A and B are shown apart, each in its own frame.
Chain A
């Protein structure tokens, strides 16, 4: 299941830092990585997994860096990729941003972290809050206050240390729902999906025991309260602090939360909802002369809610010129680097309809390059509203010291992957 070695490369393929975990492969093999990548790029090919002889490279890209795991065994690929992403997360917690410079500037810490997060190809502790308790950048004297491995590292509760203290105990919850939508060019909804996530910011002392109550349909069915408005969660994923077997048994979400910010859970619903913002568009291209675009945007949610920062991106050919716009509300911008028009509407109340017209010139010599038909994409956020109707019914907080703690909940719905194909 193991990675023999992990490398961090710059964009040219030069090794910035590496760690040989198993010592069973020639570290120079990584020199083959970039040439293979270049060859694939020439063939317009791409794969997150490349092979050279007996060496397999599993890579991800972050900013101007490649993180590459090398193995010669039948490694657990899912584990390797998710570990690489976890590494990025850890480094970001330590250095704010992970890029070439932060690696150089902190190479001693990077080495230390690489030593700690994986051993002989087996991922170990990757919780950055816990790591920060014993891997710091200060040189420690061993006799006085040298860090010891926090018990947390090996505890069953490996995400929260003991002895945390706050004057005021509070929990902030954000319920964020993203709407993914795919609409065909003929206007029929191909896919509509809600991906929700509940984020926590925990400011609590000690080892609090939390229980979260949602209007979960399955739970209500078990407890026989079927009348209330409920939500059917198709698939739920939890932070590792949540007791999964408890949830499996009686749908109770109980946990000892990590300190600070974390994502407690995410869920997915396939219930088809009316697309919150509906777009109708006509894009007419008159070769060698002009492109005319008509876009109608309609908000299909209740009028007491308002969508903020709505941005509608309409694709245009890459060689257009002299843009002209007319809108019933908001403003338009031509973004040549994205070959798109961006129509911004600061505030879009429910049940309204707005229009936008755009006119572009086209050069008389047509570009030979074929262009894909890109979809219209929409960004928006609607505060105080969840499209699924999910509600936090309660959050019980019990700590043995018996303090009172206040939970705060915010709801927001936003656009996820919101695409409407064009003709």
Chain B
């Protein structure tokens, strides 16, 4: 082999022979020769020999037999030689595990070399030697390197931890390397921080429950600081890690967004995309009326457009992601249609993606331009591209009604070109246009029929047959046309056969006199001469229908068809949200969740879907809530089909009844959930619920908020309905609000649901009354909750065992658990529910009284109470008055106890009774209250403060929501007392 030498004169390195000479020995007995050379005394010869070995390895020859000889060269003072030997080791250690041990000593020694380059090289290489036996010898050197004075060594060691973890996770944990790695996030050197983050993310990805990336505002701050200083790659590691964080509230979310936005100006497209991911996720938490929100929207468009000037592969990734972004937030790019116009020299994969986005952005404002472009594309030569362009014209017609006429005439022009595949595509889309706009464009049928013979693709043939059958009454020779297809019935694809069968039956029902023979022919072809079960079944059904009840047949076959939706190919909202969390990654390119293509990630990687209650798969990564965190229902973009508006998350839930057996989700989930739940904007809860009490809404404890006297002002939700209760007394039991209608029959195809919540013997019950107001029997009931603030979830299936006949009513009690997935709701006690029956899935939302969550062991020790009361900062305190309550303090105390509000102590000062009370919520939050009752004064003053359960961390999470939560409990108590009062 002769390798040209002209390149050997390398600018920086002076002239020397090129490495290609090492590839040239192909003689027999080469191994022996090499062995001799490797053991030579001359250093230069040794080095040359190792190079030859590596060259052989490179071209795929097996040189593992030389293992001991090469390893002998390891102890050298020549850096280049050392690197080569290391390279050899990485390749062959696995095949020679016993001999690989020989290398350990040198590694250990090199890890203590004076030159940081050598130390790092050693630690880097030894991590790549995936031999179990060796790994334990490497722990000590690694430990030293993690604390090395040189950042170059530390950054290399950080990555080595991830390598070692991949080989032996247990070892890494036992040795405490994970903690050291976490410490490196606070390292002074940005490169070390970036690599530590990368290593931790990598480990966390394979161990989603490890809670490794325990991100909190402090660590986030460190990351954001390092973000400004590290290399472009480091910035990507950090941004990708940030994307897993769930900010506590919209303020934190905004401040992170502000610090991430400058990255949009980075020259590296990958940095830009990772920044876009963080922003798209955190934006969810920002209130839409915030000025900053719209500023951010505006800032996102230019960098996305600039990505289209990158290399074609990066353009492709960008376009696939833009496709997601325009579905999620169409407003970002709605004015940028032109940048997606196809250029002649774009690679085909870029062209096709651009086309897709053009259709998504098509609107009345730009449709003229879009159509002109699409028409241009439809006359190109690239078949796939042309087809998609033709299809796109049809989609525009369906999407923008005003353009339908122009689209149809454009399609007719294209049909006139007689280019076969263009005609076929056009017919397929015209069928959809007919369905979308019935009785409008049927005049073109004649033109279509002219092209009948040229159709050779099943989809086009089926579409044409559908058109003929559907409009049989307007086509004089419909029977002839269909008959012509019938000749080769058995050679057609199933799609065409089924369509033909239906079309002829339609024809028969419309023109029975002339087509009896034809229909008999097709029925016999379908039922007697076909092996296809679908075809036969359909044939028999038609036959039976036609022979027994032609009127019914007409009703079935010629039934009015539902309109087709405007948007096609929309990604289902739950998946879309998950994919938004994966912007820039393969998932976003495939438009598939990682679990669909990454082995061993089933049930692990889902960033979005709520876990089924109690099933074993309830493992959510801590970041679950992020995208959903702030996604109040109204955040669903208009592009999502109407159903998705209310309860996007529930849409795709499998409605299988939950089982009670599985283990509860990990407690970490609960804690993280706590964070979610305390995101900002909780104030609105009070503002909304206690109708006219602005002081409460804004009430942060300082000024005692006064409850309005007329408490039966319009109040929403379960709490409010109490006031209608009148004198229904429940002296000692827990307070149960009356049942109200949650789902009116007219919204649920005849199913009416009313209900309430109760706490009985420590179990939260959802008590439902299901009424069937429809004409048909309802069966197969199932229920599912969306994630909610306190993790409420059905603890068992919905027990509706017998079918529910028309006008029947059934009362069901559904026990609830509080171990479900958590997401902050607005208002806090809002619960979104999906109920399924044999007819459809229905959605509604209701609000539960917070008192339902007060647990029985909520009685705090007196000493603890005293200490805690003093500990809790004033910020967490809120005060208000309960008016017109004529109970004395003892009566009030005993009534409240019925709802698990326990009196710890009572003090009487100057004729005023002070009751000290404690409440514990199901998620471990404590609320302490002081109730002052003045004899003879019907107005109570109440002070509540609140602290979290065991963990101090929780305390910080809860601080911002403290007032809201305590106020909520106040209201609740107020309501109870008022109720007993009247």
Interface residues, chain A, with chain B CB atoms under 8 Å away? 1-2, 15-17, 20-24, 44-49, 51, 54, 56, 58-60, 71-79, 81-83, 85, 94-97, 101-102, 104-109, 111-112, 115, 119-127, 132, 134, 136-143, 146-149, 153-156, 158, 182, 184-185, 190-191, 193, 195, 234-240, 243-245, 247-248, 263, 265-266, 268, 370-375, 417, 419, 421
Query: Which of B90, B152, B160 has the most chain A CB atoms inside 10 A of its CB?
Result: B152
Q: Which residues of A contact B130 (CB under 8 A)?
A: 23
Query: Which of B20, B309, B380 has the most chain A CB atoms inside 10 A of its CB?
Result: B309
Cβ of B18 to closest chain A Cβ, rounded Å = 4
Who on chain A is nearest to B9 by CB? A96
Please name 5 further chain A to chain B contacts, defined as beta carbons within 8 Å, in addition to the given A56-B586, A77-B586, A195-B309, sorted by A numbering: A46-B349, A124-B155, A240-B232, A247-B265, A421-B376
Query: Does B331 sit at the interface, judged by CB under 8 A?
Result: no
Given A74-B598, A245-B259, A238 and B267 contact (CB-CB distance below 8 Å)? yes
Q: Which residues of A contact B382 (CB under 8 A)?
A: 44, 372
Cβ of A44 to closest chain B Cβ, rounded Å = 7
Cβ of B271 to closest chain A Cβ, rounded Å = 8
> Interface 1/0s, chain B 91-127, versus A by CB < 8 A?
1000000000000000000000001111010001001
Given A95-B7, A122-B195, A372-B381, A85 and B265 contact (CB-CB distance below 8 Å)? no
Can you list 13 residue pairs at the A/B interface with Cβ under 8 Å? A1-B237, A59-B313, A72-B599, A105-B8, A111-B54, A126-B233, A139-B81, A146-B79, A154-B192, A234-B305, A266-B267, A268-B305, A374-B344
- Determine the distance from Cα of A94 to Cα of B597 in the docked complex, in whole angstroms: 37
Closest 10 CB pairs of A and B: A235-B302, A105-B18, A244-B262, A78-B270, A74-B594, A123-B233, A154-B151, A48-B313, A156-B229, A149-B152
Query: Does B715 sit at the interface, judged by CB under 8 A?
Result: no
* Interface contact A120-B348, CB-CB below 8 Å: no
* Interface contact A141-B78, CB-CB below 8 Å: yes
Query: Does B976 sit at the interface, judged by CB under 8 A?
Result: no
Query: Does B261 sit at the interface, judged by CB under 8 A?
Result: yes
Q: Which of B562-607 contact A (CB under 8 A)?
A: 582, 584-589, 594, 597-599, 601, 605
Cβ of A279 to closest chain B Cβ, rounded Å = 15
* Interface contact B266-A237, CB-CB below 8 Å: yes
* Interface contact A122-B116, CB-CB below 8 Å: no
* Interface contact A153-B191, CB-CB below 8 Å: yes
Q: Which residues of A contact B654 (CB under 8 A)?
A: none
- Determine the distance from Cα of A183 to Cα of B587 in the docked complex, in whole angstroms: 36
Who on chain B is nearest to A82 by CB? B270
Q: Which residues of B contact A47 (CB under 8 A)?
A: 316, 349
* Interface contact B263-A124, CB-CB below 8 Å: no
Cβ of B504 to closest chain A Cβ, rounded Å = 36
Query: Does B268 sit at the interface, judged by CB under 8 A?
Result: yes
* Interface contact A143-B586, CB-CB below 8 Å: no
* Interface contact B198-A106, CB-CB below 8 Å: no
Cβ of A369 to closest chain B Cβ, rounded Å = 9
Q: Within the complex, which residue of A81, A96, A147 is in contact with B7, where a contact is CB–CB below 8 Å?
A: A96
- Determine the distance from Cα of A120 to Cα of B233 in the docked complex, in whole angstroms: 13
Query: Does B517 sit at the interface, judged by CB under 8 A?
Result: no
Query: Does B162 sit at the interface, judged by CB under 8 A?
Result: yes
- Determine the distance from Cα of A85 to Cα of B150 in the docked complex, in whole angstroms: 30
- Determine the distance from Cα of A248 to Cα of B295 in the docked complex, in whole angstroms: 13
* Interface contact A244-B228, CB-CB below 8 Å: yes
* Interface contact B311-A81, CB-CB below 8 Å: yes
Q: Which of B229-279 contact A (CB under 8 A)?
A: 229-233, 236-237, 240, 259, 261-263, 265-270, 273-274
Q: Which residues of B contact A79 (CB under 8 A)?
A: 233, 236, 270, 274, 584
* Interface contact A95-B10, CB-CB below 8 Å: yes
* Interface contact B302-A417, CB-CB below 8 Å: no
Query: Which among B335-343, B489-497, B613-621, B658-666 touches the partner chain?
Result: B335-343
- Determine the distance from Cα of A190 to Cα of B341 in the docked complex, in whole angstroms: 8
Q: Which residues of A contact B263 (CB under 8 A)?
A: 244
Query: Does B205 sit at the interface, judged by CB under 8 A?
Result: yes
- Determine the distance from Cα of A419 to Cα of B342 in the docked complex, in whole angstroms: 11
- Determine the distance from Cα of A104 to Cα of B302 in the docked complex, in whole angstroms: 42
Cβ of B361 to closest chain A Cβ, rounded Å = 14
* Interface contact A78-B273, CB-CB below 8 Å: yes
Query: Does B303 sit at the interface, judged by CB under 8 A?
Result: yes
Q: Which residues of A contact B159 (CB under 8 A)?
A: 119-120, 122
- Determine the distance from Cα of A156 to Cα of B227 in the docked complex, in whole angstroms: 10
- Determine the distance from Cα of A193 to Cα of B875 in the docked complex, in whole angstroms: 55
* Interface contact B19-A237, CB-CB below 8 Å: no
Cβ of B594 to closest chain A Cβ, rounded Å = 4
Query: Does B671 sit at the interface, judged by CB under 8 A?
Result: no
* Interface contact A153-B78, CB-CB below 8 Å: no
Given A115-B124, A134-B117, A74 and B587 contact (CB-CB distance below 8 Å)? yes
* Interface contact A104-B267, CB-CB below 8 Å: no
Q: Which residues of B contact A153 (CB under 8 A)?
A: 152, 191
* Interface contact A120-B12, CB-CB below 8 Å: no
Cβ of B281 to closest chain A Cβ, rounded Å = 15
Q: Within the complex, which residue of A112, A125, A247, A375 is in contact with B231, where a contact is CB–CB below 8 Å?
A: A125
* Interface contact A158-B231, CB-CB below 8 Å: yes
Q: Which of B300-326 contact A (CB under 8 A)?
A: 302-303, 305-306, 309, 311-314, 316-318
Query: Does B80 sit at the interface, judged by CB under 8 A?
Result: yes
Query: Does B23 sit at the interface, judged by CB under 8 A?
Result: yes
Query: Does B561 sit at the interface, judged by CB under 8 A?
Result: no
Given A72-B598, A239-B267, A143 and B191 contact (CB-CB distance below 8 Å)? no
Query: Which of A97, A126, A149, A195 has the most chain B CB atoms inside 10 A of its CB?
Result: A149
